[in-house]
Structure 1
Amino acid sequence: MAYSESYACDVCGKKKESDGWWLAWVDCFPGQKPEEDQPLIKLTRWQTYHAHSDGVKHLCGARCAGTMMDRWMMEQHADPDAHCQTA
């Protein structure tokens, strides 16, 4: 029996049917003290293994990556004292 996976862009909802997709996630940029830690966003080329990781967003291309970045930046401006989320 064949196994198939499907992915959808976390911004526009388009189904993954081609190459050229991207992965993005929020990480932590450490400050000199824990209270100075700041969230940051990371972006990399598609890799199926990492597409399964918690918190990773699937992006169909540059336009949706830019939209996600814009939304994330707006959230950061709305809460400039935000620090990294700890699990």
Structure 2
Amino acid sequence: MSYTESYECDVCGNKKGERDLWWLSFSDCIPGSSPDDTIPVIKFSRFDVSHSHDKTVKHICGAQCAATLMNRWMSDQHDDPDQHCAR
């Protein structure tokens, strides 16, 4: 018996095919100008199975969904700038 993993785009719900070129997205925080300051960042990388299992990663099927995700992330940052890097 073989094991098959399936992935779904976290933006539009498309299912990933074997040959589809997908992306992963991560939110992170980097140090700011002072020790108590952090700056939110969003990162995109090529799809990699070993990183795709991280519970914080978003699976993205293409550029349009990446742009939608980035727009949502930016709106969230604008709406609540202090929540981004809660410790």
Q: Normalized against structure 1, the TM-score is what?
A: 0.90
Please identify runs of 4+ aligned residues in structure 1 that moved more than 4 A.
none
Q: Which residue is 1:29 aligned to?
A: 30
Aligned partners of 2:77 and 2:84 also within 8 Å: no
Query: What residue number does 2:2 align with?
Result: 2
- Matched AA of 2:14: K
TM norm structure 2: 0.90
1:75 aligned residue: 76
Q: Distance in 1 between matches of 2:86 and 2:7?
A: 26
**Where in structure 1 are there 5+ consecutive unaligned residues?**
none
Identity %: 55
Cα pair distance change 1:82/1:51, threshold 3 Å: same
Question: Where do 5+ consecutive residues of structure 2 fail to align?
Answer: none
In the alignment of these two chains, the number of paired residues is 86
Cα RMSD of the aligned pairs, angstroms, is 1.3
